[in-house]
Structure 1
Amino acid sequence: MSKDRMLRLFHADALDLLNITNSLKQVCEDLASPTFRMARKDIMPGCAIKMQLCQRANSLEEAFTRMRGKPFTTEVKLDGYRLQIHVKGSEVMYFSRRGREHGRLSDYVVFDEVVRHQVRLAEPGDAVILDGELGVWNKSRGVFEPFGGVRSAMNAARERVPPEHVLGTKSYGWQGNGGRARDGGDDADPVEGGSQQQQQQQEQEPTSDDDAPTAGEIELIYFAFDILFVGKESVITRSLHERHSLLKDALSCIPADQPGVPCNSSCVGGRIIALLPDQPLPLPLPGAAAVAPPPAAGVEAKEGGGVGGGAAVGCAAVPELVLSRAGRTLADMQRMYDVAISRQDEGIVCKQLESPWKPDDRSGSWVKMKPEYTGQQELDCVIIAVYLGGGHRGGQISEFLLALLEDVHAMRWCSFCKVGTGFSNVERQQLGERLQPFLLRNGPGVRPPACYKLSGKEVRPDFWVTNPQRSLVVEVRSDIRTIVSKVFATPYSLRFPRITKICWDRSAADISSCAEVERVVLENKGRLAERQAGVGSKGSKPGQAGRQAAAARAAAKRRQQRSGVVGAARLPDVSGVQRRSGAPLAGREVHVINYCCDQQTAAQRDAAKQRVGEVLARNGAKQVAAPLRTTDYVLARHLGEERVRWLHRAEGGSSTNAQAAYDVTSLAWLAAVDEAAEELPVM
């Protein structure tokens, strides 16, 4: 039984009251009598409200069809925290998707001065409720930082670190792509933990301190895309077009050439920006007042001029960035989708301009379209161009344009992705020194080498690599978008790519090809088609999508039951664990019987299994699902007498493992090995 049906059976007004109060306790108390009918209630400042939701579309055509021929706005879906900001007099509250107030809970109070500075209240008793996303803008690079950066920025503002402090050390470490605090337990809020996809991305791709900006280079920015309450009345029944006008009037704008409001009197600035159709965002210009240091070692001019020296870094204004546009045609929607893909954003959200704002509604007036991704892939790419950075990396190599091999016989390379993370400052220096003899300064009249196939939509690089055969090959890890890319010359591109290794011994003729990427995408699309077959397909009758979804889930469950590997025997995923230097258990084969006490829950058992697997991987051991002749150790949290006798009989020759010579010991031995960093005698 669904949540909505259960509430309607409890009371006719239960669902409406829950949507505007987000309090199940209040629903049970106010509607205890089934004969009582609630007078119409509306949203109120200071009381959490269920968020307006989006329907999922599997294609742009499907999203356009759901607009029903009506005018709409297409917004780039930003990678941030969805928050409602309630302003009531001098009081500011921050409500998450689950209705939790995160002002004191998550240090959002550091943003209070920004809200008070920019939100206009006509009278002292007035109130405003904003709906939007909170993110982090990197002023030096002119880009948005990934999802986890908000937490680190909040910590830096709370601690009032100096502007030159790199957000990758001490307690306020950088969490741009990974490493967020996990102290929320099972009750963690999505505003802190993010979506499942974002958490997986963060866990698989830890961010090094070398990728982190300084505190003075970032600003916390709240993108307000809707307004729900103005003055003394709710405006959710008005059209989105009207609410956009009210939103514009309710906020004072900080020009791009002016600094943001200091958060908690710190060097971390903040601002609120109204995300309105066809309006450029007043984002701070990258490095407007920064002075470039001397050129980085290994980066010098060639034929087209030098890297500069003493000039302002990136002092040219950011091209007008428009992340929301009104439209009526599929081409209008496609235009903004291309912007989202080129910026490596999550996708787009399309909203009918005539629609009201409805709490907890997924009727289709808001539709989101995200590109599908394959699982994590590792690809070898060649560097064909470089970009210089700003801020504390001013004048130094900051990012690379990478390419795949199109045709091994014609020796032609296609632009594939842009990457700037995953390597240390030492590796950055080494790359600059190796590439220096082959760099051509880009400028007016300079053409890229003829062996490069480009789309013409790539961000203009500062230098071209004149000879890809003399360039360097890097291994990149990321998800591959399964939607055709128009930004790069390859048909598909990556999201949040990271360099995992520099392949000093590889040549540009030995890298991954476009055909290899297409094959991965086609295989993934086949799996997606099986998983999504019939779910919400075009032309479905009312109720048919739900039945098809249930049938698809049942089929998936049957396939899982037919699988030969049960969950209890499945080994933990340790693909993201780094092996320590001088691993004491290198070359050892280990089988683990049990990880914890049988009385613990399934979630606790899974967590214990993952912890043990990570310790084994970190120390170089290979874990196997069953003890074999080649197994060195058998470990257990607790060993029953029957299990011990069986293991010793196996060693003695009474089983198929007659030649086995493994040692049987407890997990305490593994913990001791991990702490001592050496292989110890068994306990």
Structure 2
Amino acid sequence: MKDAAVDDDDDDYDDDDGDIDDPSAARRERSMDASGGPRYASARDAPFRALARACERVQRERGRKKANAARRYAALDAFHDVCLVSTRDGTRCDAFDAYRLLIPTLDKERETYRLKHDALAKCVVSAFDMARASEDAKTLEDWKQKGGGNFPQAVREVLERGHLQGREGDADVRELTIGEVNDTLDELAACESKHERAATLRKLFGKMDAVMVKWACAIILKETKLRMGDKAIMRHYHRDAEDLFDWTSDLRRVCEDLPRRDVRLKRADINVGEGLINPQLALRKNTADAIMKTLRGRQFIIETKFDGERIQLHKDGEIINYWTRNMNDFGPRGYDVMNGLFRHLPKRCILDGELLVWNKLRETWHPFGAIKTLIKAANLRKSKDEVFPLSNDTDDRDDGDDIAGYDPKSSKYEWYQEYMKKLTYGDLELVYVPFDILYIGDESVRHLQLVERHAKLREHVHPVSAMCGNIKARILLATPDCEFSKIGSTKQDIERALLEAIEAGDEGLVIKDLNSEWIPGDRSGNWMKIKPDYCKSEDLDVLLIGGYYGAGELRGGKISQFLVGIIESTNDPTSAHGIKIMSFCKVGTGISATELDDLRNRLGDYMHREKPREMDYNVTDAYSERPDVWIWPPQRSVVVRVKGDIRCIRSMTYATGYSLRFPRVTGIRYDKTWSDILTNAELKQIIEEDRPNIAMDMGEGHMNSRKRTRAAALTTLLPAHLMPVDVSGVVPESEVFKSLQIHIVNCESREQKQELFKAIIARGGRTSEMWHSDVTHSVAANRDGAKFIAASHHGDVYTIDWLKQCIQQNRIVTPRPRHRLNLATSTWYGSNIMDRYGDDHAIPCNEEDIRALLHQVGDQAKRWETSEVPAMVELTREYPNLLKSMKYCTFSECVFEIDDSCDVQHNEWMSESEHFRLMLHEERFNVELRLRLFGGTMAPEGRSGTHIVRMNDDSVREEYLDDGRVLVSNGWVTKRTRKQSPRMSPNLDIRSF
């Protein structure tokens, strides 16, 4: 396929007017009309054809040589002087209309078109009346393979095959202006359906030739790829354009404030409401030594690097804007639902911070992708009890795409179904963490030192919470006096903080010079980031099972990325049908061009566009997993060795449930057979057991991972409770722990940890320093740390004393109340004689057990008071279908008020009788007990409920009031519960309900 960069057939197109081939002639002939005035009144009046020709010439210049760059700038000069200069003094009018087409990625005023390559291909096919079954239509729809991987160029070549015949005359093509193109693109952005978009594009393309359509498509896709960076084009426009854009992130303002090249920028400081200030960026460093070398002994602050959405918040009176790092204003996209959270802020201010989602159920930060879904839920006022969806692949897709989104509810994986049952909107909170303040009152403070800005941040912004719709939101500060940041001055401070980040599973650290000012777009070293490298040292052997076509000049139209898999089961390795391959991840980097060509040649005969009917592959059929070609049969495929960052997080995209982050190929193993690759069991063992055993090099040089060896384990800088224990040389004594895998959460000392590990292994058991699905028992010395929280979410946690007793008696001892640091809901619920505090009524308690039970009761009572995770709510999440049919949950969703008034005005004795008042009190007490027994809740004093019970009304009555509450009678309650009274245990204290 011919590439646009080397196509010489454009000469006839470029030479029509001579203005591009001879720039000097263009300036003389085109810049002035017959009367000596400017050719065009403004850029809006300039022909779009001239812009397309300039882009074509700029793109054609290959390489980075000075001669190529000079010709690129010459092409832009010709277009600039002819189409943009409108007065004799060089003033440019409406330059924004031209530059928003030249560098569309920087134009934030126009809404998105909701058109990606596949949807745009269908619009082009429809606009030019191509038959869907024609070869040209198939080329556009399969542009990665048949179109050479360059969609705009594929459109041009298809149209030049005769699709422009019978169109409007060449005069219309020449007269189409830049202003008309912008107006039509505005209409396109406002279209609501694929039919409207197709009609709008038909109207636009009807006035264009093939080259103009090519560049119109590139603009819509924001893939102009002019071989010049956006900032280089801005510097060509004006020497101060890049600087002004860093301060405003506003392309229109750049064009309007710099109308002439000879007028320098008079820089003003930042202001509220004038658009995003280009955010200050962090320079990446791989070692603590490199950071200290850059800081040169200066004091610094160590901040947690969050995996969230960076939001720059501008508050101007009642108007609040939310700017993302990509210069998008997300206020109109629903983020203004959080406005109530920032009412307490000063009238005018600018904050720089991170927006995150906090998972209250698991007490950890939720993955970044949940932010958009939670913002939508807040706007729609979703119920807090509604299940939170983990994924919605169709959110950002065009509504006309024929793409089946991945439905999380149809997942066949048990772990996902369990997760779905537990996580609700009420379990998540929006958290905004401001770490800097740039503007306060009527002045900018960005020039102050960071330590001074922190003081102002603490003075004017306070941790608060508010309800955004039905979603709770909070503000938490990231200043030196909080949990997210601390002051440091030595290398050891950075190392210690990085190790804590590893243990907590954080993304990394950001190191900031306390004496630095805030500089937009700066990446000089005032801010630096460092991330822990979790990458496994052992390479993983995987199998190529699918391929994806690449895009661009080098890889376009060729298989350039692969779907790889690992073995799910090996029931009979000698039989092809005994091995099942499950999808694992995508990989494309690390393979040279020569190796890619060799793989394509070897596997070409085994690549199938259609999915084989009988495949030995286990895949999810998720849209982002589905390959362009399947490599089958697996016996004919190739084994490759990959390395990547293994994260203990679930992945719905691939059948393994896990995946690699930033995978790369480290070797092609032609010597290995397809049955010798990694198995799913081995992958889980790597993830679950070996993550804390990674040794890290904190010194000079690139941070790397090493193979697990005894020497590396003993010299690692990991905290003591994460260091691997040397259990070599342990002599087996018995097999009483044969069925156990014990997770050591924490210990009193490293020596104790070593002794316990050796004792467990000597008795036939297995050990683990991280919780995973194969763990049978978790033990801990105390309730401190993130590892205890993680273990308590999955089941019971026992004391070290229990484990010691098992070792001493050489048997598995039945746990007593004093042995439990955490009691899971499933444990007491599954027992017929144990209450929710861990009291087994069939076994006598000693003094230690009673003390432990009292402590448990106190903890449970606190949970009920704060209503964070009440036992009944926890049960509802664990057993949703079961509880709906339980008899004692008849009123589980009801909150009752008691109306005990009665008509006694005609009986003076009854109104004054003490016995009568006692009788009413006892009757009210009985009604409340009955309601509580059947799952109801009593409304607190002064608060409204969902139902009002008229205690002295024995009729069966149910009436809906105007305020939404339901008025019911005591007879109604009796009828609902009469035939549903559960049999009660003799040890059950009804007052505990």
Q: TM-score, normalised by structure 2?
A: 0.32
Q: Which has the higher helix share?
A: 2
Relative to its length, the structure with more strand (as a share) is: 1
Q: TM-score, normalised by structure 1?
A: 0.46
Larger Rg: 2
* More contact order relative to length (CA 8 Å, sep ≥ 6): 1
